[in-house]
């Protein structure tokens, strides 16, 4: 159990103000929730709305957390379900989601290197965002959030074998797509 989870449980059992606990959770996990919502929806506006909805739900369900998973896993599960509900809504079925992803890159020694890194990053994110949702979410949960196979299986209500299979298929699809794009442009294959 991580320290934040222990502190959270201590706050809840001590009967402290739930606003303080919510503020602590938003500070610690707000960016993770927003990024996960964005990956699920491909829309910054929807990610904003979903993040707000998630923390409203967390506020209402604060005392229902049983500690059977990490707080991060609990928050990401709520985020996933909220995003899925938003994507299923009648309004969403009539709207086509699209947009450019412009992740920022770190400082590089030269403008040329920085430009190349930015192009590679944008290309990688474009490939990941075009994966089917089932593959995209396990890749994100594993690579970005560091969730274990068991945590992902619990969160998605799947067997560990299914999670492993989806993760393998996601990585294979990304590598295949990047290799295809490299061969189209005459570049060396990426591994």
The pLDDT value recorded for residue 189 is: 44
Q: What is d(CA 130, CA 133) in angstroms, rounded to the nearest whole number? A: 8
Q: Is the pLDDT of residue 107 over 90?
A: no
65 three-state secondary structure:
coil
The number of C-alpha atoms within 13 Å of 92 and in the hemisphere containing its C-beta is: 15
177 three-state secondary structure:
helix
pTM for this structure? 0.54
Q: Give the residue with greater pLDDT, 171 vs 2.
A: 171
Q: What is d(CA 58, CA 79) in angstroms, rounded to the nearest whole number? A: 10
The pLDDT value recorded for residue 42 is: 82
Of 11-15, 71-75, 136-140, the poorest mean pLDDT is in 11-15
- Tell me which residue has tokens 């990956």: 39
The pLDDT value recorded for residue 92 is: 45
DSSP 42: S
Number of residues that make up the chain: 191
Mean pLDDT across 179-187: 60
Please say whether the dihedral angle defined by the alpha carbons of residues 39, 40, 46 and 51, taken in this order, is positive or negative: negative
Mean pLDDT across 49-66: 87
- Cα distance between the two ends of the chain: 36
Q: Is the pLDDT of residue 106 over 50?
A: no
Q: Is the pLDDT of residue 11 over 70?
A: no
109 falls in which pLDDT band (50, 70, 90)?
low
Summarize pLDDT for 92-101 with one digit per residue, the tens: 444 433 333 4
The pLDDT value recorded for residue 110 is: 67
90 falls in which pLDDT band (50, 70, 90)?
very low
Q: Is the pLDDT of residue 102 over 50?
A: no
Buried b (16+ CB within 10 A) or exposed e, 17-46: eeeebeeebbebbeebbbbbbbbbbbbeeb
Q: What is d(CA 69, CA 66) in angstroms, rounded to the nearest whole number? A: 8
Other CB atoms within a 10 A radius of the CB of residue 80 amount to: 20
Q: Give the residue with greater pLDDT, 2 vs 123.
A: 123
28 falls in which pLDDT band (50, 70, 90)?
very high
């Amino acid at each position: 159990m991580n320290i934040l989870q222990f502190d959270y449980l201590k706050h809840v059992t001590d009967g402290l103000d739930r606003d303080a606990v919510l503020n602590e959770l938003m500070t610690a996990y707000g960016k993770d929730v927003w990024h996960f919502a964005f990956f699920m929806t491909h829309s910054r506006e929807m990610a904003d709305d979903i993040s707000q909805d998630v923390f409203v739900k967390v506020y209402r369900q604060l005392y229902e957390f049983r500690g059977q998973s990490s707080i991060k896993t609990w928050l990401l599960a709520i985020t996933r379900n909220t995003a899925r509900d938003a994507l299923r809504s009648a309004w969403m079925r009539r709207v086509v989601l699209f947009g450019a992803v412009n992740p920022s890159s770190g400082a590089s020694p030269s403008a040329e290197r920085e430009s190349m890194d930015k192009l590679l990053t944008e290309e990688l994110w474009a490939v990941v965002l075009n994966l089917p949702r089932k593959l995209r979410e396990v890749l994100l949960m594993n690579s970005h959030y560091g969730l274990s196979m068991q945590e992902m299986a619990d969160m998605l209500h799947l067997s560990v074998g299914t999670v492993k299979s989806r993760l393998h298929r996601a990585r294979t699809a990304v590598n295949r797509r990047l290799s295809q794009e490299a061969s189209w442009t005459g570049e060396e294959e990426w591994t």
